[in-house]
Amino acid sequence: MWSRMEQFEQIRRDRDREGLSIRALAERHGVHRRAVRQALASPLPPAKRSPLGRPAPRLGPYRPLIDAWLEADREAPRKQRHTAKRIWRRLVDEHGAEVAETTVRDYVRGRKRAMGWPVGEVFIPQVHDPGVGAEVDWGEAEVDLAGVRTTIHLFFMRPSFSGAAFCQASLVETQQAFLELHVEAFDWFGGVFEQIRYDNPTSAVKRVLRGRRRVESDRFVALRSHYLYAAAFTRPGIEGAHEKGGVEGEVGRFRRNHLVPVPAFATMAELNALLLAGCEADLRRRIVGRAVTVGEAWAQERPLLRPLPADPFDAADTATPRVDAKSLVTVRQNRYSVPVRLAGLRVSVRIGAREITVSHSGTVVARHERLQGRYGTSATLDHYLELLERKPGGLQHSLALRQERERGGWPGCFDELWAALTVRYGGSEAARQMVDVLLLSREHDPGRVELAVQGALAAGAHDGRAVAVLARRADATGQPSPPLEQLEPRLAVHARPAPDLTEYNELIGAAQ
């Protein structure tokens, strides 16, 4: 069977040798006269026109859904809108669609142009040696955090050779967060790059001088000295962004693929766990124009990194505040609770970007998630239990109890027990017994105490002592408590054999 090119050739030969008419040539070769005229006009067949308006039946049922996603993107953050690839991925993963990515791309391209979306940028490809360079940048995204739409800051470190990016989120873009996330990134990569490129962040650069000269902050120099890598800085402004295009593109790509649509999380820890899982999953992707996956390229690069120092860099600040009369310490204009026994004493505080750790006499006595902003208070109910033993009436309206409820650490069955105790004993005694129940969590696992409360309610034993008996009887798996052994001699003398009820049973039998 002839190709169209060969068919044109034969038509031209027959016309040249035999002088046949257009009609005769059309009948001989079984083509339309229009095709004969085209062959006689040029030896090259005209390019085929792309079909217009093809129905794409497999995509048909999903077109309204795609349109809805694109319409919803009008209200979404500018940098967290759907790309054609993300739409195709969601159709396949969430709706089981059997449709080609190119089909989705063609449809989305047309819809976006009709909606006035801007055309994408053009980038210059780069070549890098393994283990030599990496790039760092901050990005932003929006998430629903504990039910509130929140702007988060995304820290990225991306090797220029492999593209195996590390990403974690922070509520603030401070120097302390910047340094701590460097430490986490180096730990995740398992080594240190020879050079890291930055875009003049204030966390690292105090002043930009002429050319490439910079006045760097002392804390950043200490970090660089600890890990012994070199720092390079881009030109200020938009021109400098093109000097680290790898991480600039990574910020947008990662955000579109892992944070679209806007996700919801209960805590920052949950968010960062998802981001880290996304980093691991992205090792399986293949960058356009590369023969190997990101993970395979990273396997080549990883052995070439500088080994980590024996000890990680300590990015935390320290303070030694005094505990006030409410058992709170003030750190950076926010207050955090400590055990009441430390009231009036000075304690040591380690101030991290995410966590506040309080120590006394070398022992950690409190940990709090660091508060953002000013004049906030973080209180832990356990820190006040000794005081509440003496003042149980302060439990109901305490700040620590309210925050325990907000954090989800106060089970609903505790309120049921409290209400039953109030009916039976009155408010004051009920509060005292609830404090006793809370103190059980120092002896037993909190889950075990919760099960004991549920058991007491189920049995109708509305008493704090019943909860204590149940908590000590069995652990959360239902196994009985081990027998007491190796008692002190002064207690062992009181040991008695188990009572024999034989005579009692005989007496009952005779009475009947």
Residue 332 sits in the same domain as residue 403 = no
* Residue 416 and residue 357 share a domain: no
Cα–Cα distance, 481 to 269 (Å, whole number): 35
Q: What does the alpha-carbon distance between residue 345 and residue 325 come to, in Å, rounded to a whole number?
A: 10
Tally the domains of the chain.
5
Find the helix or strand (DSSP H, E) in which 196 lies: strand 195-198
Domain of residue 356, residue span:
317-378
Q: Which of 229, 275, 230, 272 is nearest to 250 (CA)?
A: 275
Q: Which of 304, 332, 365 is the last residue of a domain?
A: 304
Same domain, 184 and 240: yes
Q: Is 477 in a helix, a strand, or coil?
A: coil
**Nearby residues of 317 by Cβ (< 8 Å), 6 or more positions away:** 176, 350, 351
Domain end point (choices 281, 304, 327): 304
- 408 and 481 in a single domain? The answer is yes
- Asked whether residue 193 is assigned to any structural domain, the reply reads yes
Residues 145, 281 within the same domain: yes
pLDDT of residue 185: 96
pLDDT at 71: 86
The answer to whether residues 416 and 326 belong to one domain is: no
The predicted model scores a pTM of: 0.64
What are the CA-CA distances from residue 393 to residues 253, 338, 421, 429, 468 (Å)?
Answer: 55, 20, 14, 9, 21
Is residue 230 located within the same domain as residue 83?
no
Last residue of a domain, one of 115, 143, 162: 115
Query: Is 464 contained in some domain?
Result: yes
- For residues 278 and 258, the answer to whether their CB atoms sit within 8 Å is yes
Q: Is residue 426 part of a domain?
A: yes
Q: What is the pLDDT of residue 121?
A: 59
Residue 226 lies in a domain: yes
Indicate if 69 and 37 belong to the same structural domain: no
Stretches where the chain sits below pLDDT 50 are 476-477, 480-487, 490-491, 494
In terms of phi and psi (left: phi > 0; alpha: psi -120 to 50; beta: otherwise), the region of 113 is: alpha
Q: Are residues 245 and 351 in the same domain?
A: no
d(Cα 425, Cα 432) in Å, to the nearest integer? Answer: 10
Q: Report if residue 366 sits inside a domain.
A: yes
**Residues 281, 166: one domain?**
yes
Does 128 fall in a domain?
no
Dump pLDDT digits (tens) for 107-151: 888 888 888 776 565 656 667 899 999 999 999 999 999 889 999
As a whole number of angstroms, the distance between CA 222 and CA 214 comes to: 15
In-domain check, residue 157: yes
Q: Does 425 fall in a domain?
A: yes
In this structure, the answer to whether residues 430 and 462 fall within a common structural domain is yes
365 plus 393 within the same structural domain:
no
pLDDT at 481: 44
Q: What confidence tens digit (pLDDT) does each residue in 214-228 have?
A: 888 999 999 999 999
